[in-house]
Amino acid sequence: MAEVCPRCENCYAYFNTYCELDQWAWNCSLCGTLNGLDSEAIARYSHPQSCAEMMSSFIDLELPMEGSDEEMMQACPVYVAAVDLSSSEEFLELTKSALQAALEALAPGSLFGLATFSHKMGLYDVQGPIPVVKNVFIPPDMEGTLPTELEDVMPLSQFLAPVETCKDRITAALDTLRPTTSWERTTGAGQGLDGVLMGGRGFGVAMEALFKYLGSEYGNTFALARVFAFISGPPDYGAGQLDTRRYGEQYASKGEDADRALLPEQTPFYKDLAAVAVQAGVCVDIFAVTNEYTDLASLKFLSIESGGTLFLYSNTDDSTLPQDMYRMLSRPYAFGCILRLRTSSEFKPGHSYGHFFPDPQYENVQHIICCDSFATYAYDFDFTSATGFSRYASEQPVLQIAFQYTVVEPPEELSSPRLVSASRGKHLLKRRLRIRTLQFGTARNMNELYDNVDSEVVLSILVHKVILASLEQGVREGRMLLHDWLVILTAQYNDASKIVQFKNGGSLTAQADVAFSQCPQLQPLPRLVFALLRNPLLRFHEEGVHPDYRIYLQCLFSALEPSSLQRAIYPLLTSYSTPDKQAYPRHSLSRAALITSDSPIFFLDAFTTLIVFYSSTADPELPFPPPQDCLLRSTINKLKQERSITPKLIFIRGGQDDASAFENYLIEEQHVDGSGFASVMGFVSFLEDVTQSVLEYMK
């Protein structure tokens, strides 16, 4: 149990394997404080094999739950689907497929509710012989709320149905979903401001009412409710409606920077609503299936600040929504999490990045509403003084991560038969504390530091920083920050390696090394920075980057672990001589690489997209697409299984099919500012520009 793991009286760090221990006391490995041991701890530590914290620096401890046993048993997982009826038949068919997949993935004992929204809100009762829907009209005005409490429309116990006994009736209810007709919308929505006909997607009001409805049973029926919001366009009716006219031609005439204007939210409504969701114990996943401007810059807060995820699909034809839904719900998740970082005295946490929010009272404490094993959080650190780290080996820097979280365990996983029979169909909440303590070596000089660089992690921190900069100051500023960072790093490396030196007259003694030829660990960085500048995340609006897609990428990239993020920024291109034999494990992303390679088959992994490309000179006898039992297919299937989202798989036959989807990823010949294919090759000219900037910086 966690309460028996001693804590430092000064910094509150937990006892760990790096602490010095004697018979009566222990020295904290983080702050050095001498702490006394009570008689119980002394007795425990006389048998170190029985103490997790003495055997490993990575431990999981069970915490006592607050509340009675009966309350702990009432923790049914609750899921609610909120479906947009101001949509098309195709959208509803895709949503139905996704919810069918969800029903297959949900654990026994789960409760499920189905709600709809348009100019009215519908609640479904699927516990009777036939599904019954009850509607309540949404007021059109910006300040409006529902005229009736949802509890009065339908008691929550009627709305939330047990999945295992009602699956067929839930499916029957899904089959009754139809888009609201234009006549219904016109009649229901009526005339809007200035006589303009308003739409009928009352998303904001529906969400607010749903959170209030569910919140009444928070801590009683459920410990966490997940709402799946399926939306086919911007909220355009009632409270929370968004003005999509800001995305259009008027920005050209007003001379505003579209890259900067379309990134901030236009209203705090959805950020405030996320706080309401958290108070009600609700986590929201948004599934936007739309190619029209939906202003995800405003909507995103509802998902990421309530612990959910934002998904964007540009069309219904090749959408991976059902697969993503099943995958998301099949993974175990934790909720009500608290993440605390402690460091030894020479350094301290600087910025923190990820989908969490800081504790209002305590420093370096983050709250995470809901997360799974793919969730990733990043930190950078600052020295506490100009002296940096100690030179003594006995005082190496130490970092301790404490992660407190709750999981719901289904009844069949409970160890005691007595408990199972007493709580048939009920779930048990378990509160746990995971403690990881890490000790690091320190570099004695710059070259040693360079030799230990992890380029994937550096890229990850860079992506977080440029997302922050572009949100605050615009995409152009984010690009400049990235370019300047590479110039300064290259200049410092050249200086430390004594490659470039200026004589008194200002002339230089050697050409700058922008390829980091003496340091293999730094060599990937120029290519990664170039690729990041070519990524839609940082490309300009006039290059055709949709603002919603940019927001989606910001949300996706800020939650990816470093190796996945590198795939998304600089895809991996491999070649095969046959579908069963790999030729080369890695090529640069250039046409030259394709031409100089004799391989007939190329496989590109861009994280969200997988492309198999057969060159136009490939032997016609080679099977296309690759057969299911070959090495290439098994590689593809393995990658798909390991991903947090379902990648789109595309097969292209060069010379016959449109190859632009593949060729767009061959970025090294593209000019870094997006001005098409220059006479000078893109990456080469980028390095020349960096060289000039480095020399200017070093003068």
DSSP string, 556-599: HHTTS-HHHHHHHHS-EEEEEEETTEEEEEEE-SSHHHHHH---
**At a CB cut-off of 8 Å and minimum separation 6, what does 633 contact?**
579, 626, 627
Check whether 415 has a pLDDT greater than 70. no
Q: Which amino acid is at 98?
A: A
Q: Which residues pair with 136 in a beta bridge?
A: 121
The DSSP code sequence of 303-369 is HHTTT--EEEES-STT--HHHHHHHHHHS-EEEEEEEEEEE-TTEEEEEEESS-EE-SSSTTEEEEE
Dihedrals phi, psi of 313, to nearest 5 degrees:
-125, 125
Q: What is the mean pLDDT of residues 146-159?
A: 91
| Contact predicate 28/35, CB 8 Å | yes
What pLDDT does 72 receive?
A: 52
What pLDDT does 13 receive?
A: 94
Note the pLDDT tens digit of each residue in 26-60.
999 999 999 988 888 888 777 777 777 777 888 88
What pLDDT does 673 receive?
A: 58
Dihedrals phi, psi of 161, to nearest 5 degrees:
-105, 140
Q: If pLDDT is split at 50, 70 and 90, which confidence band does 420 have?
A: very low
Note the pLDDT tens digit of each residue in 632-680.
999 999 999 889 899 999 999 988 889 899 998 998 887 655 544 443 4
Check whether 166 has a pLDDT greater than 60. yes
Q: If pLDDT is split at 50, 70 and 90, which confidence band does 265 have?
A: confident
Which two structure tokens, joined as six digits, stand for 315? 């069309």
For the ranges 204-208, 214-218, 341-345, the lowest mean pLDDT is seen at 214-218
Long-range own/partner contacts, residues 163-170 (CB < 8 A, 24 or more apart): 163/103, 163/106, 163/108, 163/109, 163/110, 163/111, 163/112, 164/108, 164/109, 166/112, 166/126, 166/127, 167/103, 169/126, 169/127, 169/128, 169/130, 169/131, 170/99, 170/103, 170/112, 170/114, 170/126
Q: If pLDDT is split at 50, 70 and 90, which confidence band does 376 have?
A: very high
SS3 at position 663: helix
Long-range own/partner contacts, residues 349-352 (CB < 8 A, 24 or more apart): 349/379, 349/380, 349/381, 349/382, 350/379, 350/380, 350/381, 350/382, 351/379, 351/380, 351/464, 352/377, 352/378, 352/379
Check whether 447 has a pLDDT greater than 60. yes
| Contact predicate 241/204, CB 8 Å | yes
State in Å, rounded, how far the first CA of the chain is from the last one.
61
What pLDDT does 3 receive?
A: 55
Check whether 66 has a pLDDT greater than 60. yes
Q: Kindly tell me the sign of the dihedral angle through the C-alpha atoms of 673, 679, 682, 683.
A: negative
Rg of the chain on CA atoms, in Å: 28
Residues of the chain with pLDDT > 70, as a percent, come to 87
Q: Beta-carbon neighbour count of residue 257 at 10 Å?
A: 15
Helices 296-304/547-557 angle, 10° precision: 20
| Contact predicate 604/665, CB 8 Å | yes
What pLDDT does 417 receive?
A: 44
Distance CA 550, CA 552 (A): 5
Omega of the bond leading into 625 within 30 degrees of 0 (cis): yes
Note the pLDDT tens digit of each residue in 108-134.
888 999 999 999 999 999 998 889 999
What pLDDT does 183 receive?
A: 52
**At a CB cut-off of 8 Å and minimum separation 6, what does 163 contact?**
103, 106, 108, 109, 110, 111, 112, 170
Distance CA 234, CA 215 (A): 26
Q: What is the mean pLDDT of the chain?
A: 85
Which two structure tokens, joined as six digits, stand for 340? 């605390």
Distance CA 217, CA 15 (A): 39
Note the pLDDT tens digit of each residue in 469-506.
988 888 888 999 999 999 999 999 988 888 876 655 55
The DSSP code sequence of 173-189 is HHHT--PPPHHHHHHHH
Which two structure tokens, joined as six digits, stand for 627? 């057969």
Higher per-residue pLDDT: 683 or 677? 683
Q: If pLDDT is split at 50, 70 and 90, which confidence band does 256 have?
A: low
